[in-house]
Amino acid sequence: MPRTVVTGAAGFIGSHLSEALLDLGHSVVGIDNLLTGDMDNIAHLRDRDFAFIRHDVTRYIEVDGPVDFVLHWASPASPIDYLELPIQTLKVGSLGTHNVLGLAKAKHARFVTASTSEVYGDPLEHPQKETYWGNVNPIGPRGVYDEAKRFAEAMTMAYHRYHGVDTKIVRIFNTYGPRMRLRDGRAVPAFMSQALAGEDVTVFGNGTQTRSFCYISDLVDGILRLMVSDTNDPVNIGNPYEVTIEEIARTVIRLVGSKSRIVYKPLPEDDPKQRRPDITRARTLLHWEPKIELEDGLLRTVEYFKGKLKTT
């Protein structure tokens, strides 16, 4: 039975990854300091081969026994979080990544780290290939997240080249689905929570900026394929179907059946104007592409948020 450590296990993606690994027959050790994670996300895993350690990965990590895989998903990921927690975001991308890589090296484990499309910044290349170096403002308010992830990638490749650790880097594009927080700050949960409450739906900028939204089960499938692949180069995982932010807002309002109005507010500093992955590498190396249609995924997410609103 493979034994896998998942950092950020109580978060949105980390909890889905932990569950999928258990379904594959892995024994999972979840690590999270619960800064942005939620124990409710992993409560249903308690009766399975899942052990939870509350720990901050920016401090030394100790896990008893053998480990086969280490998946590093610890980090604030929402603009609301990393703008409020800039130092913690930088520390988990740097010190945290160093410590988790040290664990993988000590255990002779394969390492997978969660990077992000934010490493491309406000891209001058469209769609974004893994070979694109990005257009990032290192001293802007979003730079704490962008540069933390860029540093994490550099550290990961250094451990691969210098120490021979078998490392993988997944560049995650916008992902949505159950277990996101209602007031997460990212587009889909923000629009849904506002529409379900009958509030005005806030669109930043004029709404013409674009994103590409991938449903959580598709993302997890891509991550697991990358985990067992032979490649050590970064791989984009995301849905290449590109939509405007205004279109997403109107779709959410329609699916919810809300009478909410759209209101427009100034675009935050350095907010990317377009974002779409080139997934040629994922298709070629992993034989992966997304399967869940946008409206289907949004409907599943709406049902989850309806249930959450009833319990809050």
Compute the half-sphere exposure of residue 138: CA atoms within 13 Å on the CB side of its CA.
4
CB distance 262 to 208 below 8 Å: no
In a 10 Å sphere around its CB, with 0-12 CB exposed, 13-18 middle and 19+ buried, how is residue 236 labelled? buried
| Separation CA 60–CA 38 (nearest Å) | 22
CA distances from 232 to 156, 235, 238, 245 (A): 10, 9, 18, 33
Of 120, 145, 159, 176, the active-site residue reads 145
Compute how many other C-beta atoms are within 10 angstroms of the C-beta atom of residue 56: 18
Instruction: Judge whether 145 counts as a catalytic residue.
Output: yes
Structure tokens at 153: 């990638």
H/E element holding 16?
helix 12-23
Which positions are catalytic?
145
